[in-house]
Amino acid sequence: MTDPAATAVSPDEVHSLIDEALFRPVRSGNAFEDTVARLLQTIRLGIVAPGEALPAERDLAARFSVSRDTVRDAIRELADAGYLLSKRGRYGGTFVSEILPAVPVSTLALDRAVIEDVLGLREILELGAVRAVAAKALTAAERDQLWTRLNATSAASAEDYRRHDSLLHLTIGELSGTPSLVPLLADNRSRVNEMLDNIPLLGKNIEHSNQQHEAIVVAILTGDQQRAAEAMAEHLEGSAALLRGFLS
């Protein structure tokens, strides 16, 4: 069991573009629904991992530009659905459940046109992101961040693999230098993950993905735009083939 004291997320630590993309203001017309959706996206992408704490209600309200009542209602609904757990006491707060509910296939619109739309947008966004990153002169801290994400993904257990996989891909977008790209990547990745959650997690595919991830990162770190784009395209084609095969 994760120690809540060790894993609590301080609001002061939430500064990256990935966090900003998910903890941005919601639309006022559907404040409750958008708050639920944004929190759910944050959970399912692994921005706040199972066992970790969400920022405090007052901080979420400020970042989403909604009332604390709206945040409280959204948290209550997600707790009832099994995604969150509220704890009282010195180390209290709202924590992501250690085991998240599965997404039933029946709740997804999995016709071929929807699948192709999600995968087509993913290719456009991720190929653009990886080319942009490979063209940049990354700082030592950025290079270390990318390599750390790669190592965490390679070492991840099967149960935690897709969370780390998502974070690696979002980090590439974060390092592209185009802040407005990150929310688009996050929204698209959420839809991809909804589909991935409904197909088997194949050991051989994880092994292959890790090899492809390394090829992508090495190409980025050596400034080889063409190779980075080719490696990313090959990687995306692999997961796309599985999704088409299982879900079409």
Q: Are residues 220 and 133 in the same domain?
A: yes
Domain housing 48: 4-96
pLDDT digits (tens, 9 = 90+) for 145-170: 999 999 999 999 988 899 999 999 99
Alpha helices in 88-160 (DSSP H): 112-134, 140-155
Q: Are residues 121 and 213 in the same domain?
A: yes
CATH value at residue 184: 1.20.120.530
State how far the Cα of 44 lies from the Cα of 6, in Å rounded to an integer: 21
Domain boundary among 50, 73, 96: 96
First to last CA, the chain: 38
The residue written with tokens 């979002």 in the block is: 170
Total count of domains within the chain? 2
pLDDT digits (tens, 9 = 90+) for 26-76: 766 678 877 887 888 888 888 888 999 999 999 999 988 889 998 999 898
Q: Are residues 71 and 112 in the same domain?
A: no
Average pLDDT (160-188) is: 93
User: Of the candidates 48, 243, 221, 233, which has an alpha carbon nearest to the alpha carbon of residue 150?
Assistant: 221
Residue 28 has a pLDDT of 63
Q: Are residues 138 and 202 in the same domain?
A: yes
Q: Are residues 56 and 9 in the same domain?
A: yes
pTM check: above 0.85:
no
- Give the chain's mean pLDDT: 84
